[in-house]
Amino acid sequence: MSAALNLNLERLGALAELFAALNAGRHLNRLHDLALWTELERERDAYELLFARLGFDLRIDDRGFAWFHFEDSSSAMSKATRHLALLLLLIFEHQADAGRHLGRFGDWRIDRALLTELIEKHQLLLEAEALADPDALMAIMRSA
């Protein structure tokens, strides 16, 4: 076997945690998942190769996000779930940055103004997911 085909799994210390998070549809965030992100960057080639061999398309955006990308979105629910997870991540990040208590989620006002702020702050990421429109984000919130 060539060296390119060999993987030293002992070097992939966060393999189980990374796989569990990504396979659950989570987007890793460099700011909020620092330990996992550091591990992912350190062994990027190995993780990409291993996940590819397992049939997963690991995407790592240099702006600080990583996720499993699924070309075959035969399940609309899967895509909707990923969009909702991304939106909630951005909302929680925004509210934390604003100093709001995350445990008081039920008290937050999530309206067009907030969604517009999210689009302005994360335009490139939301454009990549075809979500850079307040109406699209409102539709996701209504479907939740």
Query: What pLDDT, on the 0 to 100 scale, is given for residue 119?
Result: 94
Angle of helix 44-53 relative to helix 15-23, nearest 10 degrees, comes to: 60
Which amino acid is residue 126, in one-letter code? L
Q: Does the pLDDT of residue 140 top 50, yes or no?
A: yes
Fold classification of 3-69 is Arc Repressor Mutant, subunit A (1.10.10)
Contacts of 52 (CB under 8 A, 6+ apart): 58
Q: Are strands 65-69 and 28-29 parallel, antiparallel or unpaired?
A: antiparallel
Q: Does the pLDDT of residue 98 top 50, yes or no?
A: yes
Query: What pLDDT, on the 0 to 100 scale, is given for residue 5?
Result: 55
Q: How far is CA 118 from CA 15, 17, 82, 95, 129, in A?
A: 31, 28, 17, 10, 14
Q: Which tens digit of pLDDT belongs to each residue from 50-64?
A: 998 888 899 999 889
More confidently predicted of 129 and 4: 129
More confidently predicted of 30 and 129: 30
Q: How far is CA 64 from CA 25, 34, 60, 127, in A?
A: 16, 10, 8, 15
The boundaries of every CATH 1.10.10.2250 domain in the chain are: 3-69
Average pLDDT over residues 26-55: 92
Query: What pLDDT, on the 0 to 100 scale, is given for residue 72?
Result: 60
What mean pLDDT, rounded, does the chain reach?
Answer: 85
Query: What pLDDT, on the 0 to 100 scale, is given for residue 74?
Result: 52
Average pLDDT over residues 31-42: 93
Q: Does the pLDDT of residue 101 top 50, yes or no?
A: yes
CA dihedral 92, 97, 100, 101 (to 10 degrees): 60
Query: What pLDDT, on the 0 to 100 scale, is given for residue 38?
Result: 94
Q: Does the pLDDT of residue 1 top 50, yes or no?
A: no
Average pLDDT over residues 101-115: 90
String of DSSP letters for 12-72:
-TTHHHHHHHHHTTPPEETTT-HHHHHHHHHTHHHHHHHHHHTT-EEEEETTTEEEEE-S-
